Amino acid sequence: MDKTYRQLFVDLAGNINPMIVVFGMCVLFSVLTFIVPGGEFERRSVQVMGVQREVVVPGSFHAVPSVPQGPAQTWTLFMRGALDGAERSFLIMLAAGAITAIIATNAISAGLSLLISGSRGLGLLFIPVMVFAFGLCGATIGMYEETVPFILVLTPLMLSLGFDSMVSVLILYWSVPIGFAAGITNPYNVLLGQALSGLPAYSGSWFRVLSFIVFMSAVSVSIMIYARAVRKDPRKSLSYDEDQRKRREQEKLEKTAEGHKLTPRRAAALVLLAAGFAVLLYGMIKRGWGFTEIASVYFWMGIVVPVAGGLSVTEMIEKNIEGMRSVMIAVVMMSAACAMGFILKDGKILDTILNFFAGYLSGAPKVVIAYIMFGISAFSAAVISSATGTAVVVMPILAPLADVLGFSKQIVVLAFQYATGAFNFWMPWDGIAFTVCTMAGVGFFKYIRHTVKFALFVYFPLALALLALAVGVDYR
């Protein structure tokens, strides 16, 4: 009987639309605004890394009347979320449209055939190569949403190597957020956190390199264990049903030599595609490009590359629209998820919650202090859904506390870094995770259930162990 009820719960959870989860969280946060007393920190405008930011003034917390967020206050939140995340949403749409149109030329299929023929000998070892490569993108230049379109290339590659679509999702969306959190030179958590704490830029990099190696190794081993089980018995795949259609389509392509023949036009498309990604990397690393410039590059790639690869102008437009349509629900999901942070901030209770947790730091052992700072930052990151937004809220509170407690600010930044990867890649309201799963064609809640185990039994223990090690060696 217990097993029956447990299976029923799993089946129901698997059929819940993520929008229902977001709506439920919004209702919960709205109720909290009627219960939790209002309060806020004073904020001052400072220039950090050449950008004017509003940061918290330590010790300035004071009570203010709360602003309960009922229906009359929250009915416009979805539109506010859509406008707040407009750049990110259009980046996802334009990138999905571009990659879909490029895939339609069969240039990527031809390129993958060559890649697979040269990499089959690697087998499972191909996974850590990809994990460290994607993780490095997050750890060094802070790539995050920008990596999402790669799932459209990674999924057929993993299927061709005998794995499943879920392996592609795990490779991309475990390595990028966790690499981002390890942050060797990540400007969005390391550099910003150190700037707000008064630490030299990129100081203490040796421990962050160690963290990156430890986290990426754990991610690689965890995915390889799952991938090996799937290769032995495909029915153990978490995306078995979804992959049957994809495998049949791939088998048809493989039987058609023309489908994988690298023609001159397809070769030209691959060269232009590589050039496009080179431009993206140059712009992000050297020119500091944001969503506007990155999305614009994808826009032009979606026009030039498909036409060069053999599509007519009409086909190119249709395929771009098809790709955009495929991620529309994910874009809606991201807009809705923004509402949760608005409710806490508009209700004047976010600062109250942060101040409550910060009050428990005084007199605690140093390891406990590190863990509490990790918890405060993780909670804030889960609600605010932005590393930079979290930094300007929590770092001005935690860094001065470190001075008072004689605690290493370097560990404060480290705890904040790890916290940016604690929840965001597996929360049911994470719009990016939903986007990746949608584009890969796998069940969102199947991904969530599998990732919860990884987070609880691998990521969290490793993060806490590394924080304890940092305290033990007096990391400064």
pTM of this structure: 0.73
Name all contacts of 253-258 with Cβ < 8 Å and 24+ positions apart.
253/106, 253/109
Three-state DSSP state, 45: strand
Residue 58: Cβ within 10 Å count: 17
Rg of the chain over all Cα atoms, to the nearest angstrom: 23
Spacing of C-alpha 205 from chain mean position: 23
Does 345 have pLDDT greater than 60? yes
Where along the chain do its domains lie?
2-58+71-84+105-262+327-472, 85-104+263-326
pLDDT of residue 146: 72
pLDDT of residue 179: 94
Mean pLDDT, range 315-320, rounded to an integer: 92
pLDDT of residue 116: 56
pLDDT of residue 110: 75
* Cα–Cα distance measured from residue 96 to residue 86, given in angstroms and rounded to the nearest whole number: 15
Q: What is the mean pLDDT of the chain?
A: 82
- Decide: 418 and 475 in contact? Cβ < 8 Å: no
The mean-pLDDT minimum among 15-24, 71-80, 293-302 falls in 15-24
* Cα–Cα distance measured from residue 387 to residue 256, given in angstroms and rounded to the nearest whole number: 47
| Whole-number percent of the chain with pLDDT over 90 | 28
* Cα–Cα distance measured from residue 423 to residue 387, given in angstroms and rounded to the nearest whole number: 12
Mean pLDDT, range 372-386, rounded to an integer: 83
Does 257 have pLDDT greater than 50? no
Does 258 have pLDDT greater than 60? no
The mean-pLDDT minimum among 113-122, 260-269, 389-398 falls in 113-122
Does 5 have pLDDT greater than 60? no
Q: To 10 degrees, the CA torsion angle through 192, 197, 200, 204?
A: -90
**pLDDT of 265-298, one tens digit each?**
988 988 998 898 888 878 876 787 777 888 888 8
* Cα–Cα distance measured from residue 199 to residue 93, given in angstroms and rounded to the nearest whole number: 38
Does 366 have pLDDT greater than 70? yes
Mean pLDDT, range 307-316, rounded to an integer: 92
Beta-sheet pairing, 39-40 with 43-48 = unpaired
**pLDDT of 16-37, one tens digit each?**
666 777 788 788 889 999 999 9
Model confidence band, residue 1 (pLDDT cutoffs 50, 70, 90): very low
Does 51 have pLDDT greater than 80? no
Q: To 10 degrees, the CA torsion angle through 421, 424, 428, 434?
A: -110
* Cα–Cα distance measured from residue 103 to residue 306, given in angstroms and rounded to the nearest whole number: 8
Residue 28: Cβ within 10 Å count: 11
Model confidence band, residue 308 (pLDDT cutoffs 50, 70, 90): very high
Does 118 have pLDDT greater than 90? no
Q: Which two tokens stand for residue 392?
A: 């300007």
The mean-pLDDT minimum among 4-13, 321-330, 345-354, 376-385 falls in 4-13
Residues linked to residue 54 through DSSP beta bridges, in sequence order:
45
| Pick from 231, 228, 292, 349: nearest CA to 88 | 292
Of the two residues 303 and 396, the one the predictor is more confident about is 303
Mean pLDDT, range 93-113, rounded to an integer: 80
pLDDT of residue 10: 45
pLDDT of residue 259: 52
